[in-house]
């Protein structure tokens, strides 16, 4: 689903890596340029586990269709997070990918970088909301990875509300709690319970 904004809130590292490996190879099969923003490991170590997950040809090919980058320097070049600047650089990369003959752009980021003091929570939610707003002109496929142990419940709730699709048990599901109008409003601290969609 090109242009989909996905959220993965995970508890299990092995499951996360299995999902990411499939996400990567789907990009290759659909001839989409792939950008991976890593936080927990160096780009080299990230490449190592992708190889171990069965992507052995990565070691033998020039990375012309993929790029692994450290998250903080990429998203916070001045040691602070500016959502608009990050979104702009993704839009520029999408345009560049299309001009180079790719059919699209696929990005996945380890969002634990946001816990390192370079972003406030409102800026993070604004960033996620802006991704939804650009999809018609720049149909980039995003997969945002959130380690459940690194974010509090209130923040995770807001994060979920900003994503139209979620990954649960390895499957993509529509987020019945998602509403573009709701996430476009000013972020507040109130926590609501969307129990109907979780039955």
Q: Which helix (H) or strand (E) holds 173?
A: strand 171-174
What is the spatial distance between Cα 103 and Cα 121, in angstroms, rounded to a whole number? Answer: 33
Q: What is the CATH number of domain 5-198?
A: 3.40.50.300
Hey, where are the domains in the chain? 5-198
Q: Report the C-alpha dihedral over residues 84, 126, 153, 71, rounded to 10 degrees.
A: -10
pTM: 0.85
pLDDT in tens, 98-154: 999 999 999 999 999 999 888 899 999 999 999 999 999 999 999 999 999 999 999
- Sign of the CA dihedral 167, 172, 177, 180? positive
Q: Which residue has the higher pLDDT, 112 or 184?
A: 112
């Amino acid at each position: 689903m090109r242009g989909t904004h996905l959220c993965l809130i995970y508890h299990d590292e092995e499951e996360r890596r299995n999902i990411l490996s499939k996400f990567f190879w789907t990009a290759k099969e659909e001839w989409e340029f792939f950008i991976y923003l890593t936080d927990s490991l160096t780009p080299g170590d990230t490449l190592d586990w992708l190889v171990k997950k069965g992507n052995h040809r990565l070691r033998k090919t020039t990375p012309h269709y993929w790029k692994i980058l450290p998250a903080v320097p990429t998203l916070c070049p001045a040691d602070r997070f500016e959502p608009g600047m990050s979104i702009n650089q993704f839009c520029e990369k999408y345009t560049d990918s299309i001009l180079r003959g790719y059919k699209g752009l696929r990005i996945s980021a380890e969002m634990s970088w946001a816990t390192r003091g370079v972003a406030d929570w409102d800026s993070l939610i604004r960033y996620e909301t802006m991704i939804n707003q650009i999809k018609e002109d720049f149909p980039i496929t995003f997969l945002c990875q959130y380690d459940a142990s690194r974010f509090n419940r209130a923040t995770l709730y807001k994060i979920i509300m900003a994503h139209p699709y979620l990954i649960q048990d390895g499957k993509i599901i529509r987020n019945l709690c998602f509403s573009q109008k709701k996430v476009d409003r000013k972020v507040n601290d109130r926590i609501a319970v969307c129990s109907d969609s979780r039955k």
